[in-house]
């Protein structure tokens, strides 16, 4: 059974009323960009635990998690009230297959996310190996409101480092927002609006696509990509679509 270790909150970033990040100091086993671990709090005899992706690249001296507080959620309201110096439990062994070593070769790496699921893609981009394996890196982030387009400073640093090879495409579905696409990711793939904005099309030869977040978005996006001629990437039958559901 995986061991739990104590972690200490060393920094907190509040992005909106409900979105926040925790930087945690904890002695964890080595992990890869794109993986997740579990965070837990003890409530009486009970340990309430949930999965959270690392936002930081594995070389960071801290572990960072990006969370949304679910109003009636069992764990996130308590994680949301942690402040610097507070402790929590962290599973020392990470898991997950949304990692570059699971992804076949390609030219264009598409990273499609909703909400807090941009986290593992920021880790992958910050880690620096993606740019060695792919010519084009496309980071797509779908949110309800413009203020939820978190991590702009880090995205700015990535743009500065990667230049035109990084295509950042925000989607805002519930209001008009400057420079963002309106609506939802799969609809924009179906219409070709996403491909037009980026200047790249989907093809089995060139594309590798990672999808992460809302399970309904994951399902709809998989179907849209299959319509574009791509196939799921399975260990036995390599393809172009890899995904992770957040719930």
Ligand X SMILES: Cc1cc2nc3c(=O)[nH]c(=O)nc-3n(C[C@H](O)[C@H](O)[C@H](O)COP(=O)(O)OP(=O)(O)OC[C@H]3O[C@@H](n4cnc5c(N)ncnc54)[C@H](O)[C@@H]3O)c2cc1C
Ligand Y SMILES: NC(=O)c1ccc[n+]([C@@H]2O[C@H](COP(=O)([O-])OP(=O)(O)OC[C@H]3O[C@@H](n4cnc5c(N)ncnc54)[C@H](OP(=O)(O)O)[C@@H]3O)[C@@H](O)[C@H]2O)c1
Q: Which positions lie near ligand X, rule CB under 6 A?
A: 36, 50-53, 65-68, 70, 73-76, 96, 115-116, 119, 244, 246-247
- Yes or no: say if 26 and 8 are a contact pair by the CB < 8 Å rule: yes
How far is 12 from 169, CA to CA, in rounded Å?
26
Q: Write the burial class of residue 81 (CB in 10 Å: 0-12 exposed, 13-18 middle, 19+ buried).
A: exposed
CB 2 within 8 A of CB 88: no
Nearest to 114 by CA among 221, 233, 2, 225: 221
> Among residues 80, 96, 142, 170, which is the contact residue for ligand Y, using CB under 6 A?
142
- Is position 68 an interface residue for ligand Y (rule: CB under 6 A)? yes
Shortest distance (Å) from residue 63 CB to ligand Y: 21
- Considering only residues 171 to 210 of the shown chain, the ones binding ligand Y according to CB under 6 A are 173-174, 184-186
Smallest separation (angstroms) from ligand X to the CB of 39:
8
Task: Output 67 or 98, the one with its CB closest to ligand Y.
Answer: 67
From CA 144, how far away is CA 39, in angstroms rounded?
26
Q: Which does 186 bind (CB under 5 to 8 A by kind): ligand Y, ligand X, none?
A: ligand Y
- Residues of this chain that interact with ligand Y (CB under 6 A) are 18, 68, 70-71, 114-115, 142-145, 148, 173-174, 184-186, 214, 216-217, 220
């Amino acid at each position: 059974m995986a061991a739990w270790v104590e972690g200490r909150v060393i920094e907190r970033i509040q992005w909106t009323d409900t979105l926040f990040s925790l930087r945690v100091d904890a002695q964890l086993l080595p992990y890869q960009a794109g993986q997740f671990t579990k965070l837990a709090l003890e409530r009486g005899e009970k340990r309430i635990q949930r999965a959270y992706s690392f936002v930081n690249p594995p070389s960071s001296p801290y572990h960072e998690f990006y969370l949304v507080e679910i109003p009636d959620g069992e764990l996130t309201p308590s994680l949301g009230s942690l402040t610097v110096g507070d402790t929590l439990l962290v599973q020392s062994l990470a898991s997950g297959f949304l990692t570059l070593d699971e992804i076949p070769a390609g030219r264009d790496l598409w990273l499609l996310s909703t909400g807090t699921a941009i986290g593992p893609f920021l880790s992958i981009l910050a880690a620096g190996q993606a740019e060695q394996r792919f010519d084009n890196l496309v980071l797509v982030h779908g949110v309800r409101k413009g203020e939820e387009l978190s991590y702009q400073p880090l995205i700015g640093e990535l743009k500065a480092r990667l230049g035109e090879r990084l295509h950042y495409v925000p989607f805002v579905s519930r209001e008009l927002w400057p420079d963002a696409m309106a609506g939802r990711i799969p609809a924009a793939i179906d219409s070709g609006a996403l491909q037009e904005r980026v200047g790249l099309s989907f093809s089995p030869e060139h594309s590798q696509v990672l999808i992460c977040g809302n399970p309904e978005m994951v399902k709809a996006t998989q179907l849209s990509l299959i319509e574009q001629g791509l196939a799921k990437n399975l260990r036995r039958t390599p393809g172009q679509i890899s995904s992770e559901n957040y719930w």
